[in-house]
Each structure stands twice: as structure tokens, then as C-alpha cells.
Structure 1
Amino acid sequence: MSTEVVAPAPEARTVPFYRTLTRYARDPVRAFEEAGKQANGELVRLNMGPFKPYLVTHPDHVQHVLRINWSNYVREGMFWDPLKPLLGDGILSDGTGWQESRKILQPLFTAKYVDSLTERMAEILTEQIQETIRPGERFNVVTAVSQIVHPTIVRLFFGDKISRDDIAQLVPAYDTAVTSKAIRLVLPFVPGKVPLPGDKAFERSVKTINEVAYARISEIRSRANDDRDVVSFVCRARNHEIGEIGAKKIRDDIVAMHGASTETSATALTWVWVALDAYPDVAARVYEEIDRVVGGDPISPAHLPELRYLRMFINELLRLYPAGWLLPRMAVKDDVIGGVKIKAGSTVMISSYLTHRLPEFWDRPLVFDPERFAPENEERRNRYAYFPFGGGPHQCLGQHLFMMEALLLVGGILSRFRPVVHTSVPVTPRLASSLRPNQNFEMTLVPVERA
């Protein structure tokens, strides 16, 4: 009687990432791009000295990690551990903390609930655009987009529970928190107790965020109310959890939701102006549609179904510039992906930024072409060739909210102005927790002249 011998899964090929990183020391994101090209969809290991994570880019392999065997790949280790003081143990964690928070927050992000907020969001965005933009004057795009997005989401979801003074503290604090830990993305083997540049700034930003959050939580918990804002909603949902533990869980829910719905939106919408400047033919089609659909009127929910090309433009923007560009996970148990053995305790790095550039799945992948997202083209695409909001059980709750916000903000600005971007060098991505521009570039908005 013969027994079939099953050969063990082979080890992954190693890519010399540090050699590439040395070549692009001033542009680490470019080093990741080169690693993606060398992998070309194959599951490989990145040689980062004592740290050798697996790079996962093929859509089938991404699907395995994010959906098929998702429970084996947890949000721990590289990227997650340094940000733990900011992210907490709620919706951006794993285990029971994540399950509890998702159950509480999910009703706030259903398409039906978000649609019910559309009218109010349009009103707030119009007000914020008028307050922030000075026609004909140069302004910092990164700052201006943040100054529009943050107050809009806060006023929409948090009501008057977070004041303008709170927002003035929170915006720079979130900004610092997501950029100050960038160096640990390329030095993940350095223990957390070993200080690196940016650590102190991160600690100060988290302290500011906590002071604002805990003060508001204390106020709301001290009195009964049936307000519909998010802070009150979460406090009521967790009213059985008292004391410091209960306050910490509420804090984690609120901070994660605030950060996820503002930081990623502001980052993604900053790239709108880069793309419009770089692709004038695409910009012309965007302008024509907005002029035809919205005209000189204030943008409203009634306009959104007709802004089809703008929606395609936003989808293509998220393909080339996904805010959550790097999604590391840690393997709990040994596994096999695409015939390659993954060792327990190892880090796997998923990058929508790299998957969205694979020539096997995207024709002319570096060309900005919204037509990729015409309805007839989307049906032919591998589900995990495009995942700007992640996938599986951990898929971002806020994707419907983001698209509504993007259409209203971009349509609201371009119905009144045309952008003129001022840069001396090309705007490219820089290394950070979210995909941010490498410079604080400026822009002027010129009023549209209508007959």
C-alpha cells in the first residue's frame, strides 16, 4: 500500500528591498513601487534586514488574506502597534473589541442612514467652502481641504458636542499623529521602546486628542439625553460600561470614527486637484458635466445621480491614490497563499497602491483614465483588483459616506470655480500612514463666468 507524499509548500522569493530603499532614500514610496514591479503579482518577501515581511499584491492572494482566511490575519505588529495609542481597541482593532464596535457603529454607515444625511451635508459643505475659499487668492490645498472636510464631518455626525475650538485642536493633532510614525514603516524591526524621530510629536498629538475626547464624553455621560449625534449615540450604546473602562471604549469608538471619516477623506480629496491639473482632457469632461448638471446653483442631492463622469473620476482617483495604501497583517497560524508557505507570526503587507498598478489587471496602469469605471468595464474586473476601502469583514464602513462627500465637495467647488495649481516640482506621494502629497502645494480658484 503506497502513501502519497505531499511536497511542502515552497518558500517565497526574496526581493532586496533595502537596496531599493537606499536608491530612493528621499522617496520611500517609490521604493515600494519598485518592489511591486519586481514582484509582478508574485507573493514575495521583502528583505528589510532583520525584518522580512511578505508582500501580497495579486488580487487572488489579497482576497485570501482579507476575506477567505481573514481571521488568521490580524491587525497587529508593523504599522498597527506604533499607532495603538491613537487607534485604541475598537473598530480599527481585532477580536471582541472590534466586534463590539462594529456592531455599535454599523447602523451609522448604512446607505439608507447616510442618504438621509445628504441634504444636511450639502448645506454644511456649501457653508464650509464659502468660509474657507477666497476667490482669486492663493491658498494651501492640503490645509484648505482639511479645513472643509473636518468641520463638515464633525458638524454632521457630532453636532455641537465638538466645538470649533475642539476642531482647531483636533485637525493638527490628527495630522501629526498619522505622519509622525512614518519612519517606523521602513524601520519596523526597531523596538517601540527605542526612541525615533516623531515619537514625541505623536505622543503630544494623542494627548491632545484624548483631552478633547474624554472631556466631551464626561459631559455627555453626566446627563441623560436622547440626542442623535454620534457621541451621544455611542455613549447610550455603552451605558452599561461604567467608569474608566467604559470611557476608554467610547473614546476608542469616537476617535477611530472621527479619524477614519476625516483623515482618509481629506487625504484622498487633496489628490483631486493634482489629477485635474495633470490631465486637462479629463478635467474638461469633469467641468462640462458639472456645468451641465449643477450649473451655477448650490449643489444638492438631486444633482448626484447625474454626476456619472465625476463618480468615475473619483473612483479612478482612488485607484491611483488610495488613502489607505498599506494594510499590514500578522499571520496567527501557518498558512499557504498561492502555493507559498506563510509562517505564523510573520507580517504580510497588502498594498492597494501596488495592486492597482499591476499590468496584468490594468491596461496602461499609470495612466489616469476614468473610463475604466464605466459600468460596462467594471463588470469584467477581478473583485480584489480594486479595493480602496479594504475588503472582507474589515471593509471600511464609510465608503458610501466618502463617495457622497466627494461628489458634493468637488461638484460644489467646480460649479463655481476653476482651479489653478501652483507647484515648482511634481506632486507625488510621500511615506505616511495614509497616502499624502510630498508637499504643501498651493492653488488659486478662479470664479466661473456664466452668461
Structure 2
Amino acid sequence: MTVTAGPPRSRKPRNFPLYRTVSRFVRDPLREIERISTAAGGEIARLDLGASHPYVVTHPDHVQQVLRKESENFVRDGTFWRPLHSLFGDSIMSEYAEWELSKRILQPVFSTRTIRSLSDHMARAINEAVAQLDEPAREGRSIEVLPEMGRIVHDTVIKVLFGDKIRKAEADRLIPAMERLATSIAFRFLLPFVPRSIPLPGDRAFSAGLQVMDETLYELVDRFRYDPGEGYDIFTALCKARMTEGSGLDDNWVRDNLLAMWATSTETTTVALTWIWPMLAAHPDVTARLRAEIEAVVGDEAVRPEHLHRLPYVKQVVQELLRLYPVGWIFPRIALKDTVIGGVPVEAGQTVLISPFLTHRLESVWERPLEFDPERFTPERARARHRYAYFPFGGGPHQCIGRHVFNMEAELILTAILSRYRPEMAPTEGPVQARIGATLRPNQPLHLLLHPVQR
């Protein structure tokens, strides 16, 4: 007699009632979320936040289902996307037809052909920005890492991606405003279901930063209203699209995409390049190998794009850095219709949280996950991994369109700095840990003393 198996039994997710650990959650939310992920061990976890019950999905198979296989069912919408929508509006950081339109218009700016044509311009901008560190290096003055990495990144992005259309006075307003937005959004990010009528820490600073951003960006939009110029930069692409007869696009759409592209092309790279220095300080063997490779390939030349294909270890270091500190640490999604993930029923309207930060630290996926080891990213070992074991730029249709620009920029900046200086980390006040915001920033200022390389 043949026995036909019935449908697979539904599984219940691991439930984590945060009201029982609220003091730990408020004191250090990232550590608490990491503790929950470790306890779940790749199984789907359900966070009981009282007013909300999102699922946390970390296993690569499940991540692939959400971001790739069922990407049309899991969309960037709902309560947990609300704080980001308040920033970026109906831009490339939205969903549905608005996202498709913005992506179609901006994609050519980030095409392989365009980036290749801009690469020499990018390298020149980076070399000029890094050379400004010569003065504190000669004088023996330490630099504060995050602001200096931000300056180098902003100088590069303004010249290359924004076609030098942002003036220094405007950049001087945008940079601190972005800083304020990135750090003050933390509580709205963690507690998005709290109504706007109930004030949370950071709300006032967020509003002030957003006002400066709006005033500056709308001034820029107005200045290039009738003559966006030529070139393959973000400004030109957006302004030309708005000027097309019958486009239906307005100033708000241009502003939304300008803010989205400014934030994603500056904040993420700045923060990643801030984390690299405590990592290298704690791993002198990695630093020594990096220096040897850069010395052999670059020597006393200015770094150029053609150097990069001969600097495989630089690439591995950047990749491992993004494993531990991915540029986007959490991606909220909402289900449009009922489905099942890993045997767990997910109903329409439920929120699913995807976190590269958590997946990249799973012991079931990565050996010694908390250890900084660039050898994980040799071509052989990288090919053997699950496609969604490592996804610092997201995945599926919404994968970051600027990922190739990020990689080139980060590798050029790291190489330029190490070819000119021997950085020395100043002592810190206790362990350097990540704190939650739009990105994962260090919990304290970091300082470097730059010793010029002796030729």
C-alpha cells in the first residue's frame, strides 16, 4: 500500500518577548538584537514589541526567498519603512512604479561603462582629497576619523557623481545636516509604530536636519531648473528627466532622489571607511600584508584605477569589512500576500526584517564569525558560499545600484591613504562598538596619527 505524505506541518517561529528584556533593549538595542539572532541560530525569530510583531529572517535560504524569489511579494512598505520614507519620499528608495521610474533614470549613471569612464576622475579627486592630510601628518596632529573620511568621500562624490554642481557653501550645509539625520533617526528606526504625535529622542534634531536638507536641495533644484548641463552625473539625469515633456515629474521627485543618492553615496562609504582603522589596528598582520601589496603595486605613484586589479588583498579587506559592518544593516519588508518561510506561515501585512549584520555573524554560516579575516574572500572560498550568506548591498531587484562605485571608491581611498601614511590609532575610551542609526557608527570618536611614509 502506498502512503501519500500530507502537507508539511507548519512551524512556529522562535518568539522573543522584548517586554521582558526592555531594559537591555533600550540600553543597547543592537547587542540585544544580536543576542536574539544568536539564540535563534538561523531559525525565524518573532520579536514581540507589544504593538508590533515583526519576523527576523537571517538564514541565507530564507533571505534569498524574501529578497529574490518572492521579491514581488515582500515590498519596501509598511510601518517599519515609514522612517525611511519620511527621508527619501517617492525616490529610488521607495517601491512600485515610483521605484521603477527612478531606477530606470538613474541606472545609466551607475552603468559599468559610465563608471569606467569616470574612474580616472574619481582617482584624481581621491588623491587630491587625501593629500590634504599631509598637513596634520607633518605637524604630528591626530585627525578625527569619521569627519576626515567624510570629507574625502564628499569631495569625491560631489566632483564625480554630482558633476561639481554642489558648491562648497552648499556642501557645508548638507554634510552636518546628513550627520544629524543619520544619528537622530535611531529611535524612530527601532520604534516605528510609535505615532509622530508622541515625541521620541532625536525627533527635534531630525526635523532640524531635514529642514536644512530641504532648503539646500530645493535651492539646487531651482538653480538647474532650465539648464542642467551635460554629463553623466545624478543632477543632470534627474533634471533632464523632469524637463522631458509629459514626464509629470516635479521638484519634489528631484529632491527625493537627490537626498536618497546623497545619503547612500556618502554616509555609507564614510562609515565603512571609519570602521577600517580599528580593524587594522587590531590586526597588524593584515595591515602588514596590505602595505606590502600596496608598496609593490603603487609605490610612490598616485593611485590609479588600473592599480586595483593588481591589489586583490585590498579588495578582500574591504569585503571582510563589509561583512562585519555592512553599509545597510537592516532591510524591512512587508508581505503583500500569505506565504511560508522555512515552514513558518507569514500572513499578508506582516513585517519581515532582513539584516546583513546578523546573517554575516551567524555561526551556522560563518566559521569564527566575529573574527576579522580577509582570507574568507579568496575567489575559491567566495565561490563556495551561499549567494545570500553575504549581501552587504542587499539583493534581488533592489540591490544597491551604486555598489560598484562604492567598491572602487573604498579601495582607492584605502590604497591612497596607506600608500602615503602609516596610520596609528589613538587609545579609545573602552571597546569600540557599533550603535544603531541609519548606519552602524562607532560609539565614540576615533582618532588617527598619520606618519608619512619614508621613501
Bin of the TM-score, shorter chain as denominator length? over 0.9
Whether the aligned pair in 1 keeps the contact of 2:92 and 2:98 (CA below 8 Å) is yes
Distance between the aligned counterparts of 1:438 and 1:244, measured in 2?
Answer: 44
Deviations 1:338-374 (A, max 9, x none): 1100122111111101100111221111111101100
1:312 aligns with 2:316: yes
Distance between the aligned counterparts of 2:56 and 2:256, measured in 1?
Answer: 30
Q: Which of 257, 264, 274 matches 1:260?
A: 264
Residue 128 of structure 1: SS of its match in structure 2? helix
Q: Which of 362, 365, 378 matches 2:382?
A: 378
Whether the aligned pair in 2 keeps the contact of 1:427 and 1:438 (CA below 8 Å) is yes
Distance between the aligned counterparts of 2:332 and 2:22, measured in 1?
Answer: 18
Alpha-carbon distance, 1:230 to partner: 2.3
Deviates more, 1:222-231 or 1:89-98: 222-231
Q: Which residue of 2 aligns with 1:396?
A: 400
Distance between the aligned counterparts of 1:21 and 1:247, measured in 2?
Answer: 43
Q: Which residue of 2 aligns with 1:126?
A: 127
Deviations 1:5-30 (A, max 9, x none): 64663332202334445236432211
Question: Which letter maps to 1:435?
Answer: L
Distance between the aligned counterparts of 2:133 and 2:19, measured in 1?
Answer: 43
Structure 1 unaligned residues grouped into runs of 5+: none
Deviations 1:175-230 (A, max 9, x none): 11122110123323312232212112111111111111111111211337434432
Distance between the aligned counterparts of 2:197 and 2:248, measured in 1?
Answer: 26
Q: Which residue of 2 aligns with 1:45?
A: 46
Residue 158 of structure 1: SS of its match in structure 2? coil
Distance between the aligned counterparts of 2:379 and 2:6, measured in 1?
Answer: 48
Deviates more, 1:414-423 or 1:19-28: 19-28
Q: Which residue of 2 aligns with 1:301?
A: 305
Q: Which residue of 2 aligns with 1:88?
A: 89
18 and 370 in structure 1: CA distance in 2 versus 1, 3 angstrom threshold: farther
Distance between the aligned counterparts of 2:228 and 2:327, measured in 1?
Answer: 38
Alpha-carbon distance, 1:105 to partner: 0.6
1:236 aligns with 2:237: no
Q: Which residue of 2 aligns with 1:139?
A: 143
Q: Which residue of 2 aligns with 1:348?
A: 352
Distance between the aligned counterparts of 1:224 and 1:386, measured in 2?
Answer: 38
Q: Which of 352, 364, 368 matches 1:364?
A: 368
Whether the aligned pair in 2 keeps the contact of 1:286 and 1:309 (CA below 8 Å) is yes
Distance between the aligned counterparts of 1:4 and 1:313, measured in 2?
Answer: 49
Equivalent residue runs for 1:23-422 within 5 Å = 23=24, 25-132=26-133, 134-135=136-137, 136-223=140-227, 225-240=229-244, 246-422=250-426
Distance between the aligned counterparts of 1:18 and 1:199, measured in 2?
Answer: 23
Question: Which letter maps to 2:72?
Answer: S
Distance between the aligned counterparts of 2:5 and 2:288, measured in 1?
Answer: 64
Distance between the aligned counterparts of 1:325 and 1:49, measured in 2?
Answer: 23
Residue 132 of structure 2: SS of its match in structure 1? helix
1:441 aligns with 2:446: yes
Distance between the aligned counterparts of 1:436 and 1:79, measured in 2?
Answer: 20
**TM-score with structure 1 length normalisation?**
0.95
Deviates more, 1:246-255 or 1:366-375: 246-255
Question: Which letter maps to 1:50?
Answer: A
Structure 2 unaligned residues grouped into runs of 5+: none
Whether the aligned pair in 2 keeps the contact of 1:45 and 1:55 (CA below 8 Å) is yes
Distance between the aligned counterparts of 2:227 and 2:453, measured in 1?
Answer: 49
Distance between the aligned counterparts of 1:224 and 1:257, measured in 2?
Answer: 17
Distance between the aligned counterparts of 1:114 and 1:191, measured in 2?
Answer: 42
Alpha-carbon distance, 1:236 to partner: 0.8
Equivalent residue runs for 1:10-25 within 5 Å = 10-23=11-24, 25=26
Give every structure 1 segment of 4 or more consecutive aligned residues whose post-TM-superposition deviation is greater than 6 Å. Answer: 2-5, 241-244
42 and 214 in structure 1: CA distance in 2 versus 1, 3 angstrom threshold: same
21 and 277 in structure 1: CA distance in 2 versus 1, 3 angstrom threshold: farther
Alpha-carbon distance, 1:93 to partner: 0.5
186 and 257 in structure 1: CA distance in 2 versus 1, 3 angstrom threshold: closer
Distance between the aligned counterparts of 1:38 and 1:50, measured in 2?
Answer: 23
Question: Which letter maps to 2:303?
Answer: I
Alpha-carbon distance, 1:49 to partner: 2.3
Question: Which letter maps to 1:428?
Answer: Q
Distance between the aligned counterparts of 1:212 and 1:325, measured in 2?
Answer: 28
**TM-score with structure 2 length normalisation?**
0.94
Distance between the aligned counterparts of 2:144 and 2:432, measured in 1?
Answer: 13
Question: Which letter maps to 2:58?
Answer: T
Residue 297 of structure 1: SS of its match in structure 2? coil
Deviations 1:390-424 (A, max 9, x none): 00000000111011101110000000101111113
Alpha-carbon distance, 1:158 to partner: 1.5
Whether the aligned pair in 2 keeps the contact of 1:42 and 1:58 (CA below 8 Å) is yes
Identity %: 46
284 and 4 in structure 1: CA distance in 2 versus 1, 3 angstrom threshold: closer
Whether the aligned pair in 2 keeps the contact of 1:13 and 1:44 (CA below 8 Å) is yes
Deviations 1:415-436 (A, max 9, x none): 0101111113221100111111
Whether the aligned pair in 2 keeps the contact of 1:14 and 1:45 (CA below 8 Å) is yes
Question: Which letter maps to 2:68?
Answer: R
Distance between the aligned counterparts of 2:269 and 2:7, measured in 1?
Answer: 48
Distance between the aligned counterparts of 2:366 and 2:446, measured in 1?
Answer: 29
Residue 340 of structure 2: SS of its match in structure 1? strand
Question: Which letter maps to 2:273?
Answer: L
